[in-house]
């Protein structure tokens, strides 16, 4: 007869060889390997201070006949610690979901039970097939001031633990990030980028429950973000981009009235339009050759060389000086 | 001629809905601020659970997405008329209190009362546009103030403001539903099923 036996890490375990007497001659094996007699007390197997590596199949055989007298599967683990529970509505006003996990593994099977109470009403949380640690609830009422109380209990053979979340309908509303973010240069506009995006597909009714958006952008070479909040529409034109610089852009969404901001969308990169380099003349060749040896903060030919608005950081001064020297050298040539 | 009238009515409806949405948004913002001030002033926890208060219209609704436009307007109007009376009572009670902080609270209450009255009027206009007209208030008695102790009155006030904040959000949502071009007053919208 086979059993499963659960024991805590650090426990002392005594296994009896079924109905065999204490003084019977027996042999114990674990996963088919003989166990040294030093672990035996008569026919009892003694395991002190068990650890995870001692999980396995333990078998006891009668000494002479080698008849299997007892078998058990020992699983060493821990009782569950307080689970981490999170509830969120990313599809308001349809419903919300709760998901959970254990902060540390128990190494033995756990079962989860979740209860959702709204006022006096117990609501059904339908478990998702995947992932297994999630369930969803349909809102039966909207605009309620009565709080929701969600209790999650985790149970295993060694103990149980629970946690409770209490929240308002509105506070857990957090859309998914905007989708399909696209950023494009604007032809003939070296300081503009056109950004567009779509409402998250999980948001069921953006017409009745409109989202507002937060856009952030920065050139890759800088750490500081620019931010723009947009109360409607799913596009925006950045008009103060640094010419020729590659930008990173992200968008977040929030219900117009309630809840919190989504996570940031996937980042997109774009560089504002720059003019195609013209056919090189002597003057242009001189300018090009000299400029190639300065920093990368080079404005496009349409921009004044010393226009500090078109270049970034300490490179601006270097470019101005260099251009001045070039012009001076050119001037000397013609004296 | 009929088409022109209909088009004009639609435009007027759209305009009233847009303005109503903005009014509701402003009202909500002011009510939330008032809620915090009121709770602090009365020594209450703004987030404490308050049992349903008799006579206070509850914003919570089932099958919200199945309501017709007219239902939405009528329920909103009934609610804001009730809030108008409740806030007037609260204001009267508050004005009996002495002190600068109490005066500031009274002013904030009065400001919200004004917005509630304006919004009720706005809803009446929308109902007139539905060719239905708002229900009469004649003969409707204002709710009798229950005999409550001081603490119970404070809790009741908290409940009133909290429900009003919910109503302001609900009203904005209701007006957005009304503003949808495909809907007449008697048809019920339905939310698209999520994939």
- CATH code for the domain in which residue A29 is found: 2.60.40.10
The answer to whether residues A250 and A212 touch, using CB atoms and an 8 Å cutoff, is no
A128: which DSSP letter? P
- Residues in chain B with CB shorter than 8 Å from the CB of A147 are 49
Q: Is residue A318 part of a domain?
A: no
CB-nearest to A208 from B60, B162, B173 is B173
**Model confidence over B33-43: pLDDT tens digits?**
999 989 888 88
Domain span at A10: 3-77
Residue B62, min C-alpha distance to chain A (Å): 4
Residue A309 predicted with pLDDT over 50: no
Q: Do A203 and A183 fall within a single domain?
A: yes
Q: How confident is the model at residue A140 (pLDDT cuts 50, 70, 90)?
A: very high
Residues paired with A161 in a beta bridge: A154
- Strand A235-238 and strand A189-198: the pairing is antiparallel
Residue A285 predicted with pLDDT over 90: no
C-alpha dihedral sign at A59, A63, A66, A67: negative
Nearest alpha-carbon partner for B167 in B87, B90, B56: B56
Question: What's residue B3's pLDDT?
Answer: 61
Whole-angstrom distance, CA of residue A90 vs CA of residue B151: 39
Q: Is residue B185 part of a domain?
A: no
- Segment holding B111, helix H or strand E: helix B100-129
Q: Do A113 and A158 fall within a single domain?
A: yes
Residue A126: strand, helix, or coil: strand
Q: Do A12 and A56 fall within a single domain?
A: yes
pTM comes to: 0.78
Residue A316 predicted with pLDDT over 50: no
A86: which DSSP letter? E
Residue that finishes a domain, picked among A123, A141, A167: A167
The answer to whether residues A291 and A283 touch, using CB atoms and an 8 Å cutoff, is no
Residue B178, min C-alpha distance to chain A (Å): 9
CB atoms under 10 Å from CB of A258, counted, come to 17
pLDDT < 50 positions in chain B:
139, 184-185, 187-195
Please, what's the b/e burial string for A121-154 (b: 16 or more CB within 10 A of its CB; e: otherwise)? Answer: eebebeeeeeeebbbbbebebbbbbbbbebebbb
Residue that finishes a domain, picked among A218, A238, A270: A270
Residues paired with A333 in a beta bridge: none
Domain span at B28: 9-179
- Strand A95-101 and strand A44-47: the pairing is unpaired
- Segment holding B176, helix H or strand E: helix B150-179
Report the C-alpha dihedral over residues A280, A283, A287, A292, rounded to 10 degrees. 40
Q: Do B60 and A204 touch (CB under 8 A)?
A: no
Q: Is A32 left (phi over 0), alpha (psi -120 to 50) or beta?
A: left
Q: Do B60 and A142 touch (CB under 8 A)?
A: yes
C-alpha dihedral sign at A298, A275, A191, A283: positive
- Residues in chain B with CB shorter than 8 Å from the CB of A257 are 25, 28, 169, 172
Scanning A154-173 for CB atoms below 8 A from B yields: 170
The answer to whether residues A46 and A12 touch, using CB atoms and an 8 Å cutoff, is yes
- Residues in chain A with CB shorter than 8 Å from the CB of B172 are 257
Residue B100, min C-alpha distance to chain A (Å): 31
Which of B47, B56, B191, B195 to mutate against chain A (most A CBs within 10 Å)? B191
For chain A, the average pLDDT equals 86
Q: Is residue B161 part of a domain?
A: yes
Q: Is residue A199 part of a domain?
A: yes
- A147 and chain B in contact, CB less than 8 A: yes
- Cα of A78 vs its chain's centroid, Å: 27
Q: Is residue B157 part of a domain?
A: yes
Q: Is residue B168 part of a domain?
A: yes
Whole-angstrom distance, CA of residue A136 vs CA of residue A100: 12
Average pLDDT over every residue of A48-72: 93
Listing DSSP states for A212-257 in one string gives: EEEEEEEETT--PPEEEEESS-SEEEE--PPTT--EEEEEEEEESS
Scanning B134-173 for CB atoms below 8 A from A yields: 162-163, 166-167, 169-170, 172-173
Q: What angle do CA B34, B36, B42 make, to 5 degrees?
A: 95
Whole-angstrom distance, CA of residue A10 vs CA of residue B11: 76
Residue A203, min C-alpha distance to chain B (Å): 8
> To the nearest whole percent, how much of chain A has pLDDT over 70?
82
CATH at B55: 1.20.1250.10
- B59 and chain A in contact, CB less than 8 A: yes
Chain A residue with minimal CA distance to B159? A145
Residue A289 predicted with pLDDT over 90: no
Residue A307, min C-alpha distance to chain B (Å): 44
Residue that finishes a domain, picked among A115, A138, A167: A167
Q: Which residue has the higher pLDDT, A206 or A324?
A: A206
Average pLDDT over every residue of A305-311: 37
A and B: number of Cβ contacts within 8 A: 61
CB-nearest to A257 from B60, B172, B193 is B172
Q: Do A147 and B49 touch (CB under 8 A)?
A: yes
- Cα of B110 vs its chain's centroid, Å: 15
Please, what's the b/e burial string for B27-64 (b: 16 or more CB within 10 A of its CB; e: otherwise)? Answer: bbebbbebbebbbebbebeeeeebeebebbbbbbbeeb
- Residues in chain B with CB shorter than 8 Å from the CB of A209 are 173, 176
- Helices (runs of H) and strands (runs of E) counted in chain B: 4, 1
**Model confidence over A33-57: pLDDT tens digits?**
999 989 999 999 999 999 999 999 9
Structure tokens at B62: 């089932």
Q: Do B49 and A91 touch (CB under 8 A)?
A: no
If one counts the domains in chain A, the total is 3
Q: Do A93 and B64 touch (CB under 8 A)?
A: yes
Q: Is residue A61 part of a domain?
A: yes
Nearest alpha-carbon partner for B77 in B144, B147, B167, B160: B167
Q: Is B48 left (phi over 0), alpha (psi -120 to 50) or beta?
A: beta
Question: What's residue A26's pLDDT?
Answer: 93
Question: What's residue A213's pLDDT?
Answer: 98
- A19 and chain B in contact, CB less than 8 A: no
- Residues in chain B with CB shorter than 8 Å from the CB of A200 are none
Q: Is residue B3 part of a domain?
A: no
If one counts the domains in chain B, the total is 1
Residue A155 predicted with pLDDT over 90: yes
Q: Is residue B32 part of a domain?
A: yes
Q: Is residue A225 part of a domain?
A: yes
Q: Is A42 left (phi over 0), alpha (psi -120 to 50) or beta?
A: left
Q: Is residue A329 part of a domain?
A: no
Q: Is residue A129 part of a domain?
A: yes
Q: Do A70 and A97 fall within a single domain?
A: no
- The answer for residues whose C-beta is within 8 angstroms of residue A59's C-beta and 6 or more apart is A28, A29, A30, A68, A70, A71
- A138 and chain B in contact, CB less than 8 A: no
Q: Is residue B68 part of a domain?
A: yes
Which of A205, A211, A256 to mutate against chain B (most B CBs within 10 Å)? A205
Whole-angstrom distance, CA of residue A156 vs CA of residue A159: 6
- A201 and chain B in contact, CB less than 8 A: yes
Report the C-alpha dihedral over residues B86, B87, B93, B99, rounded to 10 degrees. 160
Q: Is residue B26 part of a domain?
A: yes
Structure tokens at B68: 């017709």
Q: Which residue has the higher pLDDT, A314 or B180?
A: B180
Q: Is residue A305 part of a domain?
A: no
Whole-angstrom distance, CA of residue A174 vs CA of residue A192: 31
- Residues in chain A with CB shorter than 8 Å from the CB of B175 are none
């Amino acid at each position: 007869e086979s059993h499963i036996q659960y024991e805590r890490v650090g426990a002392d375990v005594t296994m009896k060889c079924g109905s065999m007497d204490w003084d019977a001659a027996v042999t114990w094996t674990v996963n088919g390997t003989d166990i040294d007699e030093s672990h035996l007390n008569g026919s009892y197997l003694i395991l002190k201070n068990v650890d995870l590596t001692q999980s396995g199949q333990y078998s006891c055989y009668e000494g002479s006949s080698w008849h299997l007298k007892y078998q058990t599967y020992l699983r060493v683990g821990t009782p569950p610690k307080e689970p981490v529970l999170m509830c969120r509505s990313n599809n308001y006003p349809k419903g919300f979901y709760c998901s959970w996990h254990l902060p540390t593994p128990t190494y033995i099977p756990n079962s989860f039970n979740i209860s959702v109470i709204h006022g006096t009403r117990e609501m059904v949380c339908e478990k998702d097939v995947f992932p297994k640690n999630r369930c969803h609830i349909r809102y039966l009422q909207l605009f309620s001031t009565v709080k929701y109380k969600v209790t999650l209990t985790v149970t295993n053979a060694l103990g149980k633990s629970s946690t409770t979340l209490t929240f308002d309908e509105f506070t857990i509303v957090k859309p998914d990030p905007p989708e399909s973010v696209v950023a494009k240069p604007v032809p003939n506009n070296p300081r503009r980028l056109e950004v567009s995006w779509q409402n998250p597909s999980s948001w069921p009714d953006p017409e009745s429950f409109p989202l507002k958006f937060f856009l952030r952008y920065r050139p890759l070479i800088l750490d500081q973000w620019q931010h723009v909040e947009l109360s409607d529409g799913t596009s925006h034109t950045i008009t103060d981009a640094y010419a020729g610089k590659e930008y990173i852009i992200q968008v977040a969404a929030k219900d117009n009235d309630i809840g919190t901001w989504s996570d940031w969308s996937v980042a997109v990169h774009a560089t504002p339009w720059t003019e195609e380099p013209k056919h090189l003349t002597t003057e242009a060749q001189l300018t090009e050759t000299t400029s190639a040896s300065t920093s990368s903060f080079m404005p496009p030919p349409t921009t004044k060389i010393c226009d500090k608005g078109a270049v970034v950081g300490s490179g601006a001064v270097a470019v101005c000086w260099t251009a001045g020297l070039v012009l001076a050298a050119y001037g000397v040539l013609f004296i | 001629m009929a088409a022109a009238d209909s088009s004009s009515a639609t435009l007027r409806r759209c305009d009233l809905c847009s303005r109503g949405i903005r009014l509701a948004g402003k009202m909500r913002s002011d009510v939330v601020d008032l809620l915090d001030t009121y709770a602090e002033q009365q020594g209450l926890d703004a987030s404490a659970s308050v049992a349903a208060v008799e006579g206070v219209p509850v914003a919570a609704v089932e099958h919200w997405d199945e309501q017709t436009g007219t239902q939405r307007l009528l329920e909103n109007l009934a609610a804001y008329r009730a809030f108008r009376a409740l806030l007037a009572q609260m204001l009267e009670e508050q004005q009996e209190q002495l002190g600068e902080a109490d005066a500031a609270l009274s002013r904030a209450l009065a400001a919200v009362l004004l917005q509630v009255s304006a919004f009720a009027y706005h809803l009446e206009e929308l109902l007139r546009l539905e060719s239905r007209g708002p229900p009469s208030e004649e003969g409707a008695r204002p709710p009798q103030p229950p005999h409550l102790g001081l603490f119970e009155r404070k809790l009741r006030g908290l409940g009133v403001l909290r429900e009003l904040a919910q109503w302001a959000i609900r009203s904005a949502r209701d007006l957005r539903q009304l503003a949808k071009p495909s809907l007449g007053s008697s048809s019920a919208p339905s939310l698209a099923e999520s994939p």
